[in-house]
A and B are shown apart, each in its own frame.
Chain A
Amino acid sequence: MSNLPISKCLMWLSASALALLVIVGVEPGIAFAATEHAETTANTFHNSKGAAFVFWAFAFASLGGSIFVITRSNMVTAVMGMVGTFFAIAGLYLMLYASFLAVMQVLVYAGAIMVLFVFVIMILNRPEDEPWAVQGVLGKGIAALGVLYLFKRLAGILWEVKDTHSLVVEKAKLNVEVVLNHADVALVQELQGLGIQLRDTARVCGESALAICRTYEFGTVEGVGYTLFSKYLFPFEAVSIVLLVAVVGAIAIARPPDDEEEADEAATKEAS
């Protein structure tokens, strides 16, 4: 950051000040509605200050990392910023009780996709002449204003959303229904003795059925996997086909043409 020119610093400072003005000052409706909403509603995610601190830390890390990514001219630096952003987003997934998705985020995004990007950067390895599509402070200022306006409109819509019930007090539970014989009273009593909750689900399974309500914690592998392999089996299989086609297509696109290969072979033969 030592070679950052002062005009750039001034530009970013003014842009952030403008952002604050737009979000807080010019549109007081959002801010006021926000405080009213937060005071009146009791349905909050986490009521502890520690959870709030963790959320704001992840929020600033992800947002700062994403801005870092799109402002760097060095590609490797941008990719490293992207990895940090993905880790912060994985932390946000954890705060939303999506632990399986958080692990997938780290494995797939920060692990696989970013390594792929680094490989491609190593192959290309060419500094760009003019990284920005708009030139000058004026053009970038207009672009920043446009992005801020877009954010203001999106946030204005999304801030009005009110969650229906608190999930902190009572975790959402997935009901896995196992059909039992209605007459098998001994088994039912045994299961109840084991603490497995039973209920009559005649509306689902017909009149001759009982069901075991097995509870899963929200966002675990069991819960997501059960939904994915029962109700969403077809999309899951379709995604596997899409991945296969993508792998074959990527190899077919990226492999050099045959004549070039032959030319390379001829060149190596001549060299040897």
Chain B
Amino acid sequence: MSIFYDLTVSHFLVLAAALFAVGIAGVLLRRNALIVMMSIELMLNAANITVLAFSRGFAGNDEAAYQGQAFALIVIAIAAAEAAVGLAIIVTVFRTRRHSDIDRLTMLKD
């Protein structure tokens, strides 16, 4: 079973695709805003795995070898900022509505 023993860059990419699909399922299927935010973090991590795998598999012998890793670091920083602002919004919504159910937050739609 060489597919199990010979690891290629595709193994990491397919695993990232699976994590991304699970994250999309969490965003679409759950109604709790906190779970939705955790799923978004999961999708960002899947994208990071993809970036790092491509960086590892295709990096040459120069500065471009680190483009993917620098990019992934920036993605992590942006994810931290997004989590802070998103959680603040959730707390504010909960304070006024006493729930964080995203299917019931339809004030702008109605």
Contacts and interface: CB of A to CB of B under 8 A. Distances in A.
Interface residues of B: mostly helix, strand, loop or mixed? helix
Given A100-B69, A133-B29, A242-B77, A227 B34 contact: no
B84 A131 contact: no
B25 A101 contact: no
A159 B14 contact: yes
Nearest to A19: B18
A30 B3 CA distance: 12
Given A86-B45, A101-B72, A164-B58, A147 B13 contact: no
B110 interface: no
Contacts of A175: 61-63
Contact of A97 (B13, B21, B23, B56): B56
A38 B87 contact: no
Interface residues of B, number: 84
Contact of B7 (A51, A120, A162): A51
A225 to B, nearest CB: 9
B2 interface: yes
Nearest to A42: B6
B11 A55 contact: yes
Nearest to B3: A38
A149 B68 CA distance: 28
A250 B88 contact: yes
Contacts of A105: 45, 76
Given A70-B29, A101-B48, 13 more contacts: A55-B11, A63-B18, A85-B45, A96-B49, A108-B80, A116-B87, A133-B103, A175-B61, A175-B62, A227-B67, A227-B70, A254-B91, A254-B92
Interface of A: 34-35, 37-39, 41, 43-47, 49, 51-52, 55-56, 59, 62-63, 66-67, 69-70, 75, 78-79, 82, 85-86, 89, 92-93, 95-98, 100-101, 104-105, 108-109, 112-113, 116-117, 120-121, 123-124, 126, 128-134, 140, 143-144, 147-148, 150-151, 154-155, 158-164, 167, 172-175, 218-219, 223-224, 226-228, 231-232, 235-236, 239, 242-243, 245-247, 249-251, 253-254, 256
11 contacts: A34-B3, A41-B8, A52-B6, A70-B30, A92-B12, A101-B52, A109-B79, A121-B34, A147-B21, A167-B56, A175-B63
Which A-B residue pairs are the 8 nearest by beta carbons? A246-B81, A163-B57, A70-B26, A154-B17, A158-B13, A227-B66, A254-B88, A151-B21
